[in-house]
Amino acid sequence: MTIVTAAILVIGDEILSGRTQDTNTNYIARWLNEIGIDLMEARVVTDVEADIVAALNALRARYTYVFTTGGIGPTHDDITAEAVAAVFGVPLGVDKEAYRRLEAHYGAADFTPARQRMARVPEGGILIDNPVSIAPGFQVGNVFVMAGVPKIMQAMLEHIRDRLQGGQTMLSNAVTIMAPESKMAGAIGDIQAANPNTAIGSYPFMEAQRFGCQIVVRARTQADIDKAIASVVAYADGEQFDYEKN
Amino acid sequence: MTIVTAAILVIGDEILSGRTQDTNTNYIARWLNEIGIDLMEARVVTDVEADIVAALNALRARYTYVFTTGGIGPTHDDITAEAVAAVFGVPLGVDKEAYRRLEAHYGAADFTPARQRMARVPEGGILIDNPVSIAPGFQVGNVFVMAGVPKIMQAMLEHIRDRLQGGQTMLSNAVTIMAPESKMAGAIGDIQAANPNTAIGSYPFMEAQRFGCQIVVRARTQADIDKAIASVVAYADGEQFDYEKN
């Protein structure tokens, strides 16, 4: 059974200042899950090259793939390309194909130095197409550098799908039980102990002043999931809790 | 000028699997900004003790404060208290006051072992009140351990407000310009260079097929912000771009 792992590095002061709610992590997490890649860690760092470099080095050594979002635009605070070049110890050059695409898009007269910045790719980088606004992302080693704008990032993900080696998909099913988590914790712990091939998570919530809890069962095979879910349902039935399988 | 920094550690498989969209980071980011604390980094890790410990050790050494969310409930996958005890090298004991509150809340007959788990606090920890569902968070050193459920986390933040030493607030103003970022990148870079006391960020977006860009100016004094914003507005006026100050 092949386990393939990944990390996300979100680059951008706007997330840390609270101005922008990051949604890319959640989108990438679900997308990776579908193709059998386990997201193991996510980080958000500021637009400071040393911080980006340190985070990339930690993550790329540990996980199969690293996906970055943000910092590849035309402005002075877009420094992801510099950071990735530093990480891999290669020069940051002008990629001819990226340059050609951008020049064709803007027209030679409007292809300003700021726009030319977006053609810079660390040596050896492989372009990631951007059908939305042309300026490409790029891959160096196991690091995939993408835009921060969600629509562009999502298009870039589709473009790299064939480059990624998926593993055994982590499947999941859930049961939402309308009872306080603390009431069922002992029983769920017992079910976890009896189902070692599963990872059972318990996520409490409040809805219209009522406490509920979603019990999520994750495993590599549906049979393992079904067995654990059946135990959760039998428990909820026994306690006469309202519940819903989802 | 006192600069106070912070990091957030989100603990939970449900964020990394994509099942749950994290909103706590954004909430805490905005809340910290208001009281003059700069959020410098955020991480999301799985429910694995070694990973929580490693992240906490990295973050608490580097930043003034660390805020964690998640993993302090009654179930088997709630292991944040264990991890924090390991980080500080102290025993994980039963906190008498937490035990008293929880027992009073559930009633002695229903105060099950799973619920008693929520009274465990690393030795020396200071409780963080939970007016919503009683089970407290706790502070050890510069680490503040809070629940993952947003409503509870938000109430806990209010409770610790007086324990935090704020610094010089990072102020910000923005101008949203309806033009492609790449068109204005050169000018904005020049304005950044002319305003070294500010951090100018440029955040492109798409809206109804039009490209726009929000230029955010951050600084410790309003005068520094006003000067840079005036330059951005003068530039937009000169180019006859639609814009809005916000």
pLDDT recorded at residue B1 = 67
- Together in a domain, A186 and A119: no
Token pair 């410790």 is at which residue? Answer: B220
pLDDT, residue B194, reads 97
Torsion of CA B206, B207, B209, B214, to 10 degrees: -40
C-beta of residue B39 within 8 angstroms of C-beta of residue B7: yes
CATH assignment at residue B222: 3.30.70.260
Residues in Cβ contact with A117 at an 8 Å cutoff, skipping those fewer than 6 apart: A74, A78, B185
- Res B80: pLDDT: 98
Q: Does A103 touch chain B (CB under 8 A)?
A: no
Q: B171-190: per-residue pLDDT in tens?
A: 999 999 999 999 999 999 99
Quick one: average pLDDT of A63-68? 98
Place of tokens 């790329």: A60
CB contact under 8 A, B218 and A133: no
Do residues A142 and A39 both lie within one domain?
yes
B51 and chain A in contact, CB less than 8 A: yes
Pair (A144, A50) in one structural domain: yes
Residue A48: which residues within 8 A CB-CB, separation 6 or more? none
Q: Which of A42-51, A199-208, B189-198 has the lowest mean pLDDT?
A: A199-208
Give residue A192's pLDDT. 96
Interchain contact A96–B (C-beta under 8 A): no
Q: Is B202–A151 a contact, with Cβ atoms under 8 angstroms apart? A: no
- In this complex, do A29 and B41 lie within 8 Å of one another by their Cβ atoms? no
Alpha carbon distance B124, A229 (integer Å): 40
Q: Let me know whether B107 and B156 are in one domain.
A: yes
The answer to whether residues B78 and B180 belong to one domain is no
Q: Contacts of residue B39 in chain A, CB cutoff 8 Å?
A: 16-18
pLDDT at B130: 96
Q: Which residues of A touch B41 (CB under 8 A)?
A: 16, 43-46, 51
**Residue A1 pLDDT > 70, yes or no?**
no
Among A15, A114, A216, the residue with its CB nearest the CB of B14 is A216
Tens of pLDDT along B33-47?
999 999 999 999 999
Write down the mean pLDDT value for chain B.
95
Q: What is the pLDDT of residues B96-149, one digit of tens each?
A: 999 999 999 999 999 999 999 999 999 999 999 999 999 999 999 999 999 999
| In a shared domain, residues A67 and A176 | no
Asked if the model's pLDDT at residue B166 lies above 90, the reply is no
The predicted pLDDT at position B207 comes to 81
- Alpha helices by DSSP H, A121-205: 150-160, 181-194
Q: Are residues B156 and B67 in the same domain?
A: yes
Q: Determine the 3-state secondary structure of A14 from DSSP.
A: helix
Number of domains in chain A: 2
Estimate the crossing angle of helix B49-62 against helix B80-88, to 10 degrees.
50
* Domain-ending residue, one of A120, A145, A163: A163
Give yes or no: residues A12 and A69 share one domain.
yes
Computed over its alpha carbons, how large is the radius of gyration of chain A? 22
Q: Which pLDDT score is estimated for B209?
A: 81
CB-based contact B46 A45, cutoff 8 Å: no
Distance from CA of B126 to the nearest CA of A (A): 22
- pLDDT score of A154 more than 80: yes
Do A35 and A118 lie in a common domain? yes
Residue B206: per-residue pLDDT: 83
Whether B175 and B155 map to the same domain: the answer is no
Which chain A residues contact residue B218 at CB under 8 A?
A: 13, 17
* Contact (CB<8Å) A29/B18: yes
B208 in the same domain as B101: no
- Host H or E run for residue A102: helix A96-106
Q: Which of A135-149, B116-130, B207-221 has the lowest mean pLDDT?
A: B207-221
Structural domain including B11 reads 4-163
Could you say which of B120, B141, B163 is where a domain stops?
A: B163
**Among A56, A51, A42, A45, residue whose Cα is nearest residue A14:** A45
